[in-house]
Amino acid sequence: MSRAHDRRNNFPQAVTLMTTLYAQHFHLKEAPFSIAPNPRFLFMSEQHREALAHLLYGIGHDGGFVLLTGEVGTGKTTLCRCLLEKVPEDTDVAFIINPRLSVVDLLANICDELGISYAADNLNNRLLVDAINHYLLARYAEGRHTVLVIDEAQNLDTDVLEQLRLLTNLETDERKLLQIILLGQPELQDKLARDELRQLSQRVTARYHLKALSHSDMQTYITHRLAIAGCDRAIFSPAAQRFIYRQSKGIPRLINLICDRAMLGAFAGGVSHISKAMAQQAAREVLGEQATASSAAGWKPALTWVAFGILLLSASTWAANRWMQPPSQTPEIVSESAAQIEPGPPIIVDEAVETPTPVATTPEAPTPNAATPEPATAQQEALNETSPADIALSDTVEETLIAEPADGGILQDQQAAFRDLFAVWGIDLPNDTDPCTFADTQGLACLQQVGDLGRLRLLNRPAVLPWQSDSGDIAFITIVSISGSTARAVAGDVQIELPLEQLSQHWMSKFTLLWRTPQAYQSDILPGTAGPSAKWLNERLSMLDPTAAGKEKNQRISGIYQGRWVRKLRQFQSDAGLFPDGVAGPRTLIQLNTQLHEPGPRLMPDLSEAQTATSH
Domain assignment present for residue 527? The answer is: no
DSSP 571-604: HHHHHTTS---S-B-HHHHHHHHHHTT-SS--SS
333 and 260 together in one domain: no
Grade residue 601 by pLDDT with cuts at 50, 70 and 90: very high
Q: Tell me, what CATH number does 282's domain have?
A: 1.10.8
Question: What is the tally of structural domains in the chain?
Answer: 5
What mean pLDDT is predicted for residues 480-490?
90
More confident residue, 508 or 594: 594
Please answer whether residues 255 and 222 qualify as being in contact, where contact means their C-beta atoms are separated by less than 8 angstroms: yes
448 and 474 together in one domain: yes
60 and 149 together in one domain: yes
More confident residue, 575 or 553: 575
Grade residue 290 by pLDDT with cuts at 50, 70 and 90: low
What mean pLDDT is predicted for residues 515-538?
86
For residue 183, the tally of other CB atoms under 10 A from its CB is: 26
206 and 221 together in one domain: no
pLDDT digits (tens, 9 = 90+) for 527-564: 888 888 888 999 999 998 766 555 555 467 878 888 88
More confident residue, 208 or 386: 208
263 and 382 together in one domain: no
Q: Tell me, what CATH number does 429's domain have?
A: 3.90.70.10
pLDDT digits (tens, 9 = 90+) for 76-96: 877 877 777 777 778 888 888
What mean pLDDT is predicted for residues 45-64?
75
Q: What is the model's pLDDT at position 60?
A: 65
281 and 228 together in one domain: yes
545 and 581 together in one domain: yes
d(CA 155, CA 392): 45
243 and 194 together in one domain: no
Put simply, whether the predicted model's pTM sits higher than 0.85 gets the answer: no
Residue whose C-alpha is closest to residue 518's, from 574, 592, 610 = 592
pLDDT digits (tens, 9 = 90+) for 162-207: 999 888 888 776 778 888 999 998 898 888 888 889 888 888 877 8
421 and 508 together in one domain: yes
More confident residue, 139 or 545: 139
pLDDT surpasses 60 at 379: no
Q: Report DSSP state, residue 176.
A: B
85 and 230 together in one domain: no
128 and 142 together in one domain: yes
Domain assignment present for residue 73? The answer is: yes
Least confident of 114-123, 360-369, 393-402: 393-402
Q: What is the model's pLDDT at position 419?
A: 93
180 and 243 together in one domain: no
Domain assignment present for residue 26? The answer is: yes
d(CA 375, CA 243): 33
Residue 555, Cβ density class (10 Å: 0-12 exposed, 13-18 middle, ≥19 buried): exposed
Identify the domain boundary among 516, 544, 562: 516
Domain extent, residue 248, equals 2-39+214-296
List C-alpha distances in Å: 85 to 82, 88, 145, 239, 447.
Answer: 5, 9, 15, 37, 18
Percentage of residues in the chain having pLDDT higher than 90 = 17
Domain assignment present for residue 399? The answer is: no
Domain assignment present for residue 409? The answer is: no
Q: Is the backbone peptide bond immediately before 388 cis, with ω within 30 degrees of 0?
A: no
What mean pLDDT is predicted for residues 59-79?
79
- Four-CA torsion 28, 33, 34, 38, nearest 10 degrees: 90
Least confident of 108-112, 256-260, 560-564: 560-564
What mean pLDDT is predicted for residues 16-43?
74
Identify the domain boundary among 281, 296, 311: 296
What mean pLDDT is predicted for residues 233-238?
84
Percentage of residues in the chain having pLDDT higher than 70 = 72
Q: What is the model's pLDDT at position 299?
A: 39
Identify the domain boundary among 253, 271, 296: 296
Taking the CA atoms of 32, 38, 41 and 42 in sequence, report the sign of the dihedral they define.
positive
Least confident of 110-114, 176-180, 440-444: 176-180
Q: Tell me, what CATH number does 601's domain have?
A: 1.10.101
Q: Tell me, what CATH number does 78's domain have?
A: 3.40.50.300
